[in-house]
Chain A
Amino acid sequence: MIKFAIYGKGGIGKSTLSSNLSAALAKRGLTVMQIGCDPKADSTSLLCPKEKITSVLDLVRSSKPFTLEDMVKESESGVLCVEAGGPVPGLGCAGRGIINALESLENKGAYKVYKPDVVIYDVLGDVVCGGFTMPMRKGFADKVYIVTSGEKMSIYAAANIAMAIENFKKRDYAKLGGIILNCRGVENEEENVAELAKDFNTSVLAKIERSPLFAQAEAKGKTIVDLFPDSDICKTLLGLADTITSDFN
């Protein structure tokens, strides 16, 4: 089973990229499960635009018995979608919520029942406490891919995440799989990201150009892979999906 997590600065496009990767991997014939690890519970909105997925923590909050099927919704493209969810904004503990949600999913046998070929953890941008490292802990993702643009703050956040992964080496956590450049059109963008990759002894796996197609696809509640299958961006995304699967093989 291929299990990886997508990390990066808030608003950098992690959920958009995760959903497109899920769609791309599904297109390659793989069973994909995408787990949104963000209290906002909007990771899979491009995959399941018609109905809001009931998050795991919403089910836990209801105090009623619930099944695995209540937690997992299959998208039109066949991706198994899960949203961890979180407490009421401003209250409770979101980090603990992620732990609780991922444990609930495991305890209900999600991986054994659905037997996904690929599991993608789409994690909240600001890794503010231990709960948000849960997806990179042993038994969850094996690799972490960091999404960044060439903007200073994005690179700063990416470096912090890479440093955390480095620090967790002795804990047998997920390894850094590489960096994905999501272009914002800033000056020296490629050079800045290449330097970041060099600093952490890793590589830039893909460069995703800015494109109006992202906004058009989002407006229609679809992924680029599903809506614009012949576009260059789609080819890049499919190529990235292949790179990741071969990285695991």
Chain B
Amino acid sequence: MNQTARIISIYAADTSGFCSALYEYGGMVVIHDASGCNSTYTTHDEPRWYDKKCMMFISGLTEKDAVMGNDDKLIDDLVIAANKLKPEFIALCASPLPAMIGTDLDAIAYAVEQETGIPSFHVKTNGMQSYITGAGNAFVELAKKFIDDKSYRNSEAVNKTEKETTLKSENNDSNITGSSDINVINETSTISAASDKIKVNIIGVTPLDFPKKENCESLKKFIEESGFTLNACIGVDTSLSEIKILPDADVNLMVSSSGKPLCEYLYENYDIPFVKGVPYGIRFAEKIKDLLKESAKEKRNIDATSDLRKEGKVAILGESVLSSSLAAAFFIDNGINACVIETVGDGDFDILKPFDFRCEDEAYLEEILKDFDVIIGDPLFKPICHDKRFVSLPHEAFSGRCFTKNAPNFIYASLDSIEESNK
């Protein structure tokens, strides 16, 4: 049977990605659906559910409301709840039912914003795509709503003046606050000052791909110990103020496919380039450090894995950016060649090599895996891996919280621990 999962699990849907991406930004997050139970979307794959509050709701759509086109009920409920809870914003997304009947959530968001004055927007989902699409769309819509072009341009001008003023003071060897007259500043000095303070956004962090607290801490540690300034981490350990200052960064580090739409948006609209790759291992992390500098300087998007991959008998199953990064890290850190088998069926396919596979079909996957000696993937893949050596690498978007506590953390750390974690 094609496109059927008889044995293995399936990935979290776009609605879960939407919830995960917006979890920490203080908004009222609403899924227009018949269900009244949040666990369908969040609790099973949301480690923050038990220690961080989030205003997450299901609209409770009924058959009668759907048939009669009773959108006013949703609008009224949203207005009542928003006036009571005073969220930073209201975000709406559709489950399959409203997506199929074409409920205009853009218009509903507009009506609610007019009524409450609270920024409101719709994130495109239909409950049938993967978490990558939902999270990716959510990050972009949030950025569109909260990056203030006008104030950004003003703050850019202020930052530029401040940087140059400081520089002038240093050049003059004086403690007196410098003039804001930027015309007198020497151009070479300005570039050098800017490159010393490269600001980096980490884009595309959700617990669906990075479930453990240590994952996010390691990403931040990598940025700071590499001599960069962390501008924002989207979207774990974050807040709405980080979204507003996203354009202040010099370069973005795209750590998952969920971060791709926002990276592309920031590149197209604010000329901020991005480096694609998760800093797994030690040498690969070093490589990413160098590429972040190069990308910021040359304003060029770079795939950190591009020349660090060779076909091998090891298969890494999962999301494309994380898996390709791990394969590149194995190559440069341990001399191991690995193929990536992209199993989500969604996300960044550009990062894949000709010898990699795209496979979301269980029967086909089972066949492909016969050609490998070692398989690295979520434990729920193990039943179709025959008698091959299987290395467990839990993925929250695939198996929820089942195996999270055993998940190793390779970010900015030796890959040798993979052996330890599987003993």
Contact = CB atoms under 8 A, between A and B. Distances in A.
Do A and B assemble together? Answer: yes
Interface of A: 93, 95-96, 99, 129-131, 133-134, 137-139, 168, 170-173
Interface string B73-117: 000000000000000000000000000111110111011001100
Contacts of A131: 101-102
A130 B100 contact: no
19 contacts: A95-B101, A96-B101, A96-B102, A129-B69, A129-B101, A129-B102, A130-B69, A131-B102, A133-B104, A137-B107, A138-B110, A139-B106, A168-B107, A170-B111, A171-B104, A171-B107, A171-B110, A171-B111, A173-B107
Contacts of B100: 93, 96
B102 A130 contact: yes
Contact of B110 (A93, A129, A172): A172
A137 B111 CA distance: 13
Contact of B104 (A93, A96, A137): A137
Nearest to A172: B110
A130 B103 CA distance: 7
A134 B102 contact: yes
A172 B115 CA distance: 13
Query: Chain B: interface secondary structure?
Result: helix
Nearest to B103: A130
Contacts of B104: 130, 133, 137, 171
A134 B106 CA distance: 12
Contact of B107 (A93, A96, A99, A172): A172
Nearest to B107: A171
Contacts of A138: 106-107, 110
A48 to B, nearest CB: 28
Nearest to A93: B100
Interface string B49-76: 0000000000000000000010000000
Nearest to A130: B102
A168 B102 CA distance: 15
Contacts of B108: 171
A133 B71 CA distance: 14
A142 to B, nearest CB: 15
Nearest to A138: B106
Contact of A95 (B102, B107, B111): B102
A177 to B, nearest CB: 19
Contacts of A134: 102
Given A170-B110, A170-B115, 15 more contacts: A95-B101, A96-B101, A99-B102, A129-B102, A130-B69, A130-B101, A130-B103, A134-B102, A137-B107, A138-B106, A168-B107, A170-B111, A171-B107, A171-B111, A173-B107
Contact of B114 (A93, A96, A137, A170): A170
